[in-house]
Chains A and B, each alone.
Chain A
Amino acid sequence: MAAITMRLPVARKAVVLSAPRGGEKHLVAPGDTITTDTGYMRGHGTYVEEEKLIASVAGAVERVNKLVCVKALKTRYNGEVGDIVVGRITEVQQKRWKVETNSRLDSVLLLSSINLPGGELRRRSAEDELAMRDYLQEGDLISAEVQSVFSDGAVSLHTRSLKYGKLGQGVLVQVSPSLVKRQKTHFHDLPCGASVILGNNGFIWIYPTPEQKDEEAGGFTTNLEPVPLSDREVISRLRNCIVALVTQQLMLFDTSILYCYEASLPHQIKDILKPEVMEEIVLETRQRLLDLEG
């Protein structure tokens, strides 16, 4: 039976900011003066005009000793060495792949930065170049780590570990990179029955937890068997929870996603996207996170 709900629009309520630890956050908009003190060095997101330090992006001011920078709330992904990213192959070029990672320039995955199937260690030959398309094609999703950042800001990736590589069946959620909390590990196996990869570039990959952990193929074969309905329900619920957290501007990390999942269990999966249910769930999650902190 079709379920069609229509409603009259309701004025949006302002998102309630919980008191942040470490004092009030200094939020600025482009053009706002941060300080007139000339003793500070200008960092990212600021510029100097008439001896005043002015913000060029909308975000929160961060100060480290004498360096003042503005961290924008909604930006493209800026690569840092060691970040985990989830990206989509856009081009197959001569000795590298171009990967789209929600940044200003396409990221680069060099042929020498991937693991060959079978785990061989040898120099890449001309045959490897010709067989590149057999490994990764346009449209494939991969998880990789940032190896280095070029001078123009483009990011060079590598998949030199068994935990990185081509991604199989799952759901991708695209969020703003500033909402993904930096943590020790970004690969989480949630107890509810699915696994999630929180890419620093804002691409979040939810997939069913694989049964066996050994992958001799070096991360390039994908399992295309149909996913059971129970796993799919868990994955859909997680996806809706992440969308709810993002709408209410909550940081994404494994605990917040898990608490949000548990708070959403009494509701049907498709109801989580309704505004009032979303607010209720996220409020409960926020409460639990505050209790956790102390």
Chain B
Amino acid sequence: EDLRVDGRGCEDYRCAEVETDVVSNTSGSARVKLGHTDILVGVKAEMGTPKLEKPDEGYLEFFVDCSANATPEFEGRGGEELGTEIANTLYRVFSSESSVDLKSLCINPREHCWVLYVDVLLLECGGNLLDAISIAVKAALFNTRIPKVRVLEDEEGSKEIELSDDPYDCIRLNVDDVPCIVTLSKIGYRHVVDATLQEEACSLASLLISVTSKGALTSMKKVGKGSLDPESIFEMMETGKRVGKSLHIALQKILDEEESLGTSRQKVGFLG
């Protein structure tokens, strides 16, 4: 009958708060609060050498840190396992060619390229981590400003890289095709989106799908000890695509709204 414990329907998300540009010493950052889940993502752009098999592209590196403040289980090294699992999921989601335009990150083929280090920090765990992380990563990438560089050729053929003097002269990434993860948890005979901690404890199996804004699926992963019926997988995929599209629309709207406020926006940050 489409009624969960907190009154939401099976396809409703909790109220989300998104804020970008919260960390000043990164190229881009975002903080997402989805109910009790709090995620902070920082993107740092650094120069590196391209990978051997893809000489004319830059690349992304993900690192997930589960802060000990999130839950007592993350004390000491407890959060490492979860962190590596989330990082691997993010690599898989972004492994598709079309998610981020990696060719724009290239400066000199085979020699220099931009490497985007995406650091995810889990501040509070309130259920549905991966959805919140993917929203935050997309917002942070939208907020990333990579400085423009020029390559100068010397007479001897050695190349020099010159950073432009103007701090506002930067390139922005096109995040239209960046996918967002939708987690569908199976509880009983139905599946729900955006599960809280209690709902996650009740669900034995979940399906993680990453959807782009156009509704295309880029990756799919099943988690949990329970089993999923093939028909329910199809249903969950359809639900996921639908929910994913509306998620992208809502997120883009809020990012554009924030952008349009410009410098007059009151930064709330962490002490608000």
Are B272 and A8 interface neighbours, CB within 8 A?
A: no
For B9, give its contact among A3, A8, A171, A229 (CB under 8 Å).
A3
Contact in complex: B7, A236 (CB < 8 Å): yes
A273 touches B6 (CB 8 A): yes
Is B54 close to A, CB under 8 A? no
Query: Which A-chain residue is minimally distant from B135 (CB atoms)?
Result: A6
Q: Which residues of A contact B265 (CB under 8 A)?
A: 8
Complex-state Cα separation, A6 to B193, whole angstroms? 16
Contact B13 A3 (CB under 8 A): yes
- B residues near A182, Cβ cutoff 8 Å: none
B12 A4 Cβ-Cβ under 8 A: yes
A200-238 contacts to B, CB under 8 A, are: 229, 232-233, 236-237
B13 contacts A8, CB within 8 Å? no
Q: Which chain A residues (237-287) contact chain B, with CB distance < 8 Å? A: 237, 239-240, 243, 268-270, 272-275
Question: Given A232-B3, A236-B3, A237-B7, do A5 and B272 touch, yes or no (CB 8 Å)?
Answer: no
Binds A, one of B115-123, B142-150, B239-247: B239-247
The A-B contact count (CB < 8 A) is 91
Total chain A interface residues with beta-carbon distance under 8 A:
28
Q: Does B253 contact A (CB under 8 A)?
A: yes
Candidates A1, A5, A236, A237; contact of B15 at CB < 8 Å: A5
Residues of B within 8 A of A269 (CB): 3, 6-7
User: B221-252 vs A: 1/0 string, CB under 8 Å?
Assistant: 00000000000000000000011001100110
Q: Is the CB of B1 within 8 A of A8?
A: no
Chain B CB within 8 A of A292 CB: no
A9 at the interface (CB under 8 A from B): yes
The residues in A between 1 and 33 inclusive whose CB is less than 8 angstroms from any CB of B are 1-12
Q: In the complex, A224 Cα to B193 Cα: how many Å?
A: 26
Look across to chain A and name the residue whose beta carbon is closest to the beta carbon of B19. Answer: A9
* B254 within 8 A of partner (CB): yes
Q: Is the CB of B3 within 8 A of A233?
A: yes
Is B8 in contact with chain A by the CB < 8 A criterion?
Answer: yes
> Quick check: B17 and A8 within 8 Å, CB to CB?
yes
Provide the bound-state CA to CA distance between A236 and B247, in Å: 25
Residues of chain A within 8 A (CB-CB) of B268 are 8-11
In the complex, the answer to whether B250 meets A236 with C-beta atoms within 8 Å is no
* B19 near A8: Cβ-Cβ < 8 Å: yes
Given contacts A2-B11, A2-B12, A4-B246, contact A9 B6 (CB under 8 A): no
Cβ-defined partner of B251 (8 Å) among A6, A240, A243, A268: A6
Inter-chain contact A270/B33, CB cutoff 8 Å: no
How far in angstroms is the closest Cβ of chain B from A192?
15
Chain A residues with a Cβ under 8 A of chain B: 1-12, 171, 229, 232-233, 236-237, 239-240, 243, 268-270, 272-275
